[in-house]
Structure 1
């Protein structure tokens, strides 16, 4: 089936993995469209927390997102800014237990799932991802729309197509992530990355039109 039909992928990393795994060549990467105008509009809503400065993680509590790596890395910083965790999932209680065991109750805040995460992203000093793998890393692109600096693990696909090397650390490297978080808390602007307009819906749509034409 895959060899007889064009296959479209959300990142070059996913495309390359697919080509190596199945040995097909009829492939093309077309990124997810990012509606920057809608994101900016939604980001104007008020926050439901009363914390002026914080760093943020957005994602489900599941193995892929590696909350354990994130929290252990955060514990190695001076924790000058609180860490806000936005999301829900089956590893929620396990993550909460880890926070308690490390004595971080007053520093790590769980705010649950929100249909509109953009006000949290907009007001964060830095957003952190510790994922073991990603396809594209949609939340990274959304953060860049809102001028929020992002630090991420260098997954096999996704983050390196959105962020420069300075913003990336090896997957699972707690010490490297801790050092990067510490540096980003001290100087968040050093990790600012402009949003690339190639992800805008009109530009993505043009690629689909070209493909079917």
Structure 2
């Protein structure tokens, strides 16, 4: 399915704290590449470190550590030392407030120089909690904060409302799922904070590219049938719950291995758990894989055991490969991705329920419909972002016809 597309070239700046290998980073790259592929002038600003992934050649990448730059001046260094010692200690959780004041000022100077060189930007997208905190003081009608998950809770009773108001009050926000939007609204309402505007735009998935990558030859080759899990090995993904559920499913008759793709802090502990449960010969830990799609495409089902998911990109990718999904009923976008018949494979967050759904996926398979993934096609999602650009913001030097 395709929506109408914009005929004017836009100039768009996307800001992210780090460009690593997580879901936020992948969604950022997908959007940047897709917009650039449509002929828009896309710039990607990384605030910390060097990118671990490379966007398309027609995306202009800038790496600027404004905090480090500030520390090279005597006033900047004095300010940072004061904020990290005295102010942060006196007002717990407020470190980002003082850091953001300084970084936001440097960002505004950088933006001015960038626009002098390239022309005015029509839209500025700040993605992820880390980038919000560093640029909280940036007040620009072209600017949208993209909320991937509601992580910005502050637990200090006396400071919570002030810190939340600092971060969100009067801002324009895009949530990556209605579940995230509902959670954010509830949290902000409890703090007495109002947004200027809130929209819901799902993350995009490069469906054709995922399908192409799935055809690659990979090692180790694991013969079907098997179940697959693809995620960072970190507490929020609850792989401990997954292993316990898989153990119970095997006791109930499941006779296929579990392939675990991903790296992270929990791997050693999870390998020990698998051995303790006596399933270490049936669970294959493949570590981080640059291209997990061949294993996903050949799997009987993908299993996700997260405590929460902003949207669940890996579920969309699995659906694009016609692989059914089993997932825990987590806050966020799970039920926006897994719709219609797929919802019968959503489990409660207990080993017993997840084990039962794994068995159901094997014994009574869901036939994946192409439309379930195509809703997240790049063209459709890009247009949602472009539709947010007010006509008055289309500058004369960018209002040209696309070739």
> TM-score if structure 1 supplies the norm length?
0.94
Q: Is 2:166 aligned against 1:20?
A: no
- 2:212 maps to which residue? 41
Alpha-carbon distance in 2 for matches of 1:211, 1:87: 35
- 1:208 maps to which residue? 385
2:353 to 157, 165, 176: 176
- 2:327 maps to which residue? 152
- 2:317 maps to which residue? 142
- CA drift of 1:211 comes to 1.1
Please identify the structure whose Cα radius of gyration is greater.
2
Structure 2 counterparts to residues 83-94 of structure 1, below 5 A: 83-94=258-269
Contact 1:167 1:191 in 2 (8 A): no
Contact 1:57 1:128 in 2 (8 A): yes
Contact 1:36 1:145 in 2 (8 A): yes
Q: Is 2:101 aligned against 1:101?
A: no
2:231 to 59, 84, 91: 59
Alpha-carbon distance in 1 for matches of 2:367, 2:306: 18
Runs of 4+ in structure 1 deviating by more than 4 angstroms, as ranges, are: none
Alpha-carbon distance in 2 for matches of 1:138, 1:186: 25
Structure 1 unmatched ranges of 5 or more: none
Structure 2 unmatched ranges of 5 or more: 1-166, 391-403
Number of equivalenced pairs: 211
Q: Residues 79-118 of structure 1, C-alpha deviation per residue, up to 9 Å, x if partnerless?
A: 3110000011111000000000011122111111101111
C-alpha RMSD of matched pairs (Å): 1.4
SS of the residue aligned with 1:115?
Answer: coil
Alpha-carbon distance in 1 for matches of 2:184, 2:335: 18
Structure with the larger RCO, 1 or 2 (CA within 8 Å, 6+ apart): 1
Contact 1:151 1:191 in 2 (8 A): no
- CA drift of 1:132 comes to 0.7
- CA drift of 1:199 comes to 1.0
Contact 1:9 1:15 in 2 (8 A): yes
Alpha-carbon distance in 2 for matches of 1:174, 1:31: 29
- 2:201 maps to which residue? 30
Contact 1:163 1:193 in 2 (8 A): no
Contact 1:68 1:98 in 2 (8 A): yes
Contact 2:345 2:360 in 1 (8 A): no
Structure 2 counterparts to residues 107-126 of structure 1, below 5 A: 107-126=282-301
Contact 2:329 2:348 in 1 (8 A): yes
Contact 2:175 2:200 in 1 (8 A): yes
- CA drift of 1:191 comes to 5.7
Q: Residues 136-177 of structure 1, C-alpha deviation per residue, up to 9 Å, x if partnerless?
A: 100000111000000100111111111133121112x11111
> TM-score if structure 2 supplies the norm length?
0.51
- 1:11 maps to which residue? 177
